[in-house]
Amino acid sequence: MKKTLLALAALTAFAGVASAQSSVTLFGIVDLAVGSVKNGNTTLKQMSSNQLSSNRLGFRGVEDLGGGMRAGFWLEGAMSNDDGNPGGLTFQRRSTVSLMGGFGEIRLGRDYTATFLNKTVFDPFGTNGLGSSLNVASTLGSGAGTLVRANNVVGYFLPAMGGVYGQLQVAMGEGTVGNKYVGGRVGYAGGPVNVAIAYGKTYKNDGAASGAPMFSDFKDFNIGGSYNLGFMTLMAQYNKIDYDPGNVANDKRDQKIALFGMTVPFGASTLKFSYINAKGTQGSSATDFDAKQITFGYQYDLSKRTSIYATASSLNNDGDATSGARFTIGQGVPMTRGGDTSRGYNLGVRHSF
């Protein structure tokens, strides 16, 4: 009897070690809001996903290979909750496999670009919903598909180095327009300070199918930072984008975007604020990429996983009335004239698991 109990104890201990060596996690976020957006003279009542956080369904896992080395995978897709579209089955948000150890991490697959991370980390609204800094960012005519993510990425991430972090990425074009990308990011996070700088270049579509439009290199530079004062966290970022569509003479385009924001937590509540000023040129026009956005938000955490929230935002299009970019904070109601104002508000619920 004693031998049997000892054997069972040994098997239980062995099973515990085995399970600690390998793990798989199912995770996700379900976020849905109701609200209204008015662009110019057009108003639309709508139910929208991704207003506080991006909806997702994913699987991630890590295996201990011994000797301080681990292998990992991450599969994550998007969901459209208002109509139940199972977009997450494509895993387009992230699809990577990694080797990790004292040397850092080598990551392969579809992933966020290094130049996108500052845009979302140092945005009080996390590049989501009515307050997203991406509402005023333009890739009009560039052909670049790397503003947020890239396919075929080979990435290297630094190991923990006393607060210093960084990454390098190369994305192979494989004959696809706007995906051949090289970028990097380096930063420091310690105490109340977090600051980072990033630069990336998306190459013109070399190797694309014959007859495809030819675009010039798309260059994206940004720097961002945050400072935690205890009772609030201040955030700021600066982005500069340069490109030339290449199919129209004297049509060089550039855009500069500055953001200032803050989050103010108190109890289970958090107040959020951001102001964004975008300026840029398109060819001979000096104002086509100009816009200003101001956003207020409130979040109340019912638990560690569930929050309710409200957001109100206003975006002024200051660009040319007949050509150039049109920015909007809403879905389904595009801008038709420069000088128009887009306003919106929403109320929503987010649950994470």
**pLDDT at site 5:** 38
The CATH H-level (homologous superfamily) assignment of domain 45-352 is Porin (2.40.160.10)
**pLDDT at site 309:** 98
Alpha helices in the chain (DSSP H): 2-21, 114-121
Nearest by Cα to 48 from 274, 338, 276, 333: 333
**pLDDT at site 14:** 36
Alpha helices in 22-155 (DSSP H): 114-121
Q: How many whole angstroms separate alpha carbon 100 and alpha carbon 353?
A: 25
Q: Which residues pair with 279 in a beta bridge?
A: 256
Which residues neighbour 279 within 8 Å (Cβ) at sequence distance 6 or greater? Answer: 255, 256, 287, 289, 290
Nearest by Cα to 292 from 278, 313, 312: 278
State CA 188 to chain mean position distance. 19
Half-sphere exposure (Cβ direction) of 59: Cα atoms closer than 13 Å: 8
**pLDDT at site 284:** 65
Nearest by Cα to 138 from 302, 282, 309, 312: 282
Residue with tokens 């964004």: 276
Which residues neighbour 231 within 8 Å (Cβ) at sequence distance 6 or greater? Answer: 264, 266
Q: How many whole angstroms separate alpha carbon 28 and alpha carbon 49?
A: 13
Cα separations in angstroms, 236 against 77, 120, 124, 197: 29, 11, 9, 12
Residue with tokens 């560690």: 304
Cα separations in angstroms, 159 against 102, 104, 112, 225: 6, 4, 18, 21
Domain ranges of the chain: 45-352
**pLDDT at site 187:** 98
**pLDDT at site 247:** 58
From first to last of its 353 residues, the chain has per-residue pLDDT tens of 443 333 334 434 434 444 446 899 999 999 999 999 998 788 899 898 999 999 999 999 999 999 999 999 999 998 887 777 655 568 999 999 999 999 999 999 999 999 999 999 999 999 999 999 999 988 877 778 899 999 999 999 999 999 999 999 999 988 777 889 999 999 999 999 999 999 999 987 654 554 455 567 899 999 999 999 999 999 999 999 998 776 555 668 889 999 999 999 999 999 999 999 999 887 666 678 889 999 999 999 999 999 999 999 999 988 765 556 778 887 667 666 677 889 999 999 999 99
Q: Which two tokens stand for residue 102?
A: 């004292």
Contact 253, 242 (CB under 8 A): yes
Q: How many whole angstroms separate alpha carbon 195 and alpha carbon 39?
A: 35
Q: Which two tokens stand for residue 79?
A: 């969901």
Contact 228, 195 (CB under 8 A): no
**pLDDT at site 8:** 37
